[in-house]
Amino acid sequence: MQVEARYYRDHTVHRTLLQNPEDTANSLISCGFLRKEGRSCVQRDELFRYYGGLYVISGTGVYIDAETGRRWPITPGCVVQRMPGVRHHTLVDEGSGWLEFYFCAGARIFETLTAMKVVTDEPVFFAGESREIFKRLLAYEELMERTDDFRAQELLPEFQRLLLYLNGCRRTPEESDGLQRACEMLRQNYQVGLSLEEIAEACGIGYESLRKQFRQAYGCSLSQYRIQLRINAGKTMLLDRRMSVKEVAAELGYCDTYAFCNQFKRQVGVSPGRFVSDWGK
């Protein structure tokens, strides 16, 4: 993905949650662009006290779990997650033209996001090289720029939405063009009663072949993937507090509120009402 030259620079935005400004591991919230070249491209035995994520715009490297030695290749389109308390190495290939957009938040925020099932435990996943993702990241940075420390608490819902969006873009680099098209159709039409057979036909893939390819690439069925897209969108709508549970169910294409609430509880573990009371403060 080509981006304008003006983004190839180090630029960060930091905000502090004033509730506990001296506790840096829990008051931090930041984002920005970072390059890594020369000696700075090797970072060993890193141990974050907070949650740090990044989207790779250009460059290559590898993430290594320092405890197990497991390795994840890093390429453009990857999202790398640095969990609090997990020792790791990040090795960036020198001369690869590395550019990342990073986003960080405090350890307690991470714990909340984990409980909400917004954050997965996989340190590296592939979201794809996408102008839409890049625009979403820029919008988040611009919001950070406009928000001072006194209103930094207002950034947390948008941070949650950003992570939900990135996880909703998850896919494998090896998937075929037809499979990519199917994923895109599901993302754009998750609230519409478009049959999976119609999606397969539009992508030029046989339905049974699409089912097998999708499960192999994502580890879940097409139906499960669409359900997760709907539930993630539902979480965002509920946290906005501008829509009732009934309105969210209708917006997502459910036949009635009961069907939405039943599926939401199976996926999240709590009802939509309980989810809002626990996390919508």
What pLDDT was estimated at residue 175? 53
More confident residue, 62 or 10: 62
Over residues 148-171, the mean pLDDT reads 85
DSSP category for residue 171: B
Whether the pLDDT of residue 216 is over 50: the answer is yes
Q: Which tens digit of pLDDT belongs to each residue from 9-49?
A: 788 898 888 776 677 667 888 999 998 764 445 566 677 88
Residue 163 structure tokens: 């992570």
Residue 71, strand partner residues: 64
Average pLDDT over residues 53-66: 91
CA 196 vs CA 62, 63, 76, 114, 249: distances in Å: 36, 36, 30, 31, 21
DSSP notation for 194-238: --HHHHHHHTT--HHHHHHHHHHHHSS-HHHHHHHHHHHHHHHHH
| pLDDT for position 173 | 57
**Is the pLDDT score of 217 beyond 80?**
no
For the segment 122-127, the average pLDDT, to the nearest whole number, is 88
What one-character DSSP code corresponds to residue 93? Answer: P
Choose between 195 and 53: higher pLDDT. 53
pLDDT tens figures, 179-190: 777 877 887 777
pTM more than 0.85: no
If we measure between CA atoms, which residue out of 243, 252, 250 comes closest to residue 280? 243
Looking at residue 213, what is its pLDDT? 77
Query: What is the per-residue pLDDT for 259?
Result: 93
pLDDT band at 258 (very low <50, low <70, confident <90, very high): very high
Q: Give mean pLDDT, residues 203-225.
A: 80
Average pLDDT (58-67) is 89
Is residue 24 within 8 A of residue 96, CB to CB? The reply is: no
In this model, does residue 79 exceed pLDDT 90? yes
Assess contact for 33 and 99: CB atoms under 8 A: yes
- In the predicted model, what is the mean pLDDT of residues 227-244? 81
pLDDT tier, 53 (very low <50, low <70, confident <90, very high otherwise): very high
Distance CA 142, CA 251 (A): 28
Residue range 247-273: mean pLDDT, rounded: 90
